[in-house]
Every structure is written in C-alpha cells, then in structure tokens.
Amino acid sequence: MVRHVPVARLDDLPPGTMLMVQVDGTNILLVNHDGTIRAMQGVCSHEYFELDKGFITGDSITCALHLSRFDLLTGEALDPPAELPLQVYPTSVVDGEIVLELPEGAIPVNE
C-alpha cells in the first residue's frame, strides 16, 4: 500500500535548488535536478547530518560533513565514509504540486 503526499509547490523549488520538507516528522530532501524532481532521505546515511546543508554536484549530492557523494537518481553512496545508500522516494508533479509516493506507516530511512 502506498500513499501520495503533497509536500511543496513546484514554484518553490527552481532548477538547481533543494528544499527540506517533513513528513510525519521525517526529513525528506527535494532536489530539482535540471527540471526533474528527486526526493531522498534528508539526513545522511553515515551520521546524523542534514543534507540540505550540502551541495548539488552534477548528478550527485555531497554531504557537507564528511564529503560523501550520493547519486541523485539511485541514492547510492559514491565515496566513503558513507556506505549505505540514501533511501529515495518516487515523485510526481500534480497541478503544480510536488507529490511523494510513500509506503503506509513508517517512512524507510537508512542510518
């Protein structure tokens, strides 16, 4: 079972920017990657550090604390020290609204 959760207006996320939102108290990072909206867990899989303090670097996001990069599409950890991927969540845009597809219940996060 999945649920569809509107989280932000597309207008609030121009290309090349990111935005942290919360769903049920869980941080989720939205990234506008050249016009494609990606969503992933908002906290690094290495230690507790919020990824909106990091940088978009090409097709990846770089955590600002220890500089691990994560693939924006798959969440894969591309450099140490992080080993676990970021959980990524499917997104769509409906009537100008960014909508996340999330499982019912607890939102999966790798930590």
Q: Check binding of 47 to ligand FES (CB under 6 A).
A: yes
Instruction: Give the residue carrying structure tokens 């693939």.
Output: 71
Q: Check binding of 41 to ligand FES (CB under 6 A).
A: no
Rg (CA), the chain: 13
Q: Check binding of 46 to ligand FES (CB under 6 A).
A: yes
Q: Check binding of 69 to ligand FES (CB under 6 A).
A: no
Nearer to ligand FES (CB atom), residue 4 or residue 53? 53
Nearer to ligand FES (CB atom), residue 19 or residue 51? 51
Rounded to the nearest 10°, the torsion over CA 36, 20, 77, 82 is: 170
Of 50, 56, 59, 66, the residue at the interface with ligand FES (CB under 6 A) is 66
User: Looking at residue 108, what DSSP letter applies?
Assistant: P
User: Looking at residue 45, what DSSP letter applies?
Assistant: S
Q: Check binding of 33 to ligand FES (CB under 6 A).
A: no
Q: Check binding of 29 to ligand FES (CB under 6 A).
A: no
- Pairing of the two strands 91-94 and 97-103: antiparallel
Record the tokens describing residue 27, joined without a space.
């941080």
Q: Check binding of 82 to ligand FES (CB under 6 A).
A: yes
Query: How many other C-beta atoms can be found within 10 angstroms of the C-beta atom of residue 24?
Result: 10
User: Binding residues for ligand FES, per CB under 6 A?
Assistant: 44, 46-47, 49, 63, 65-66, 68, 81-82
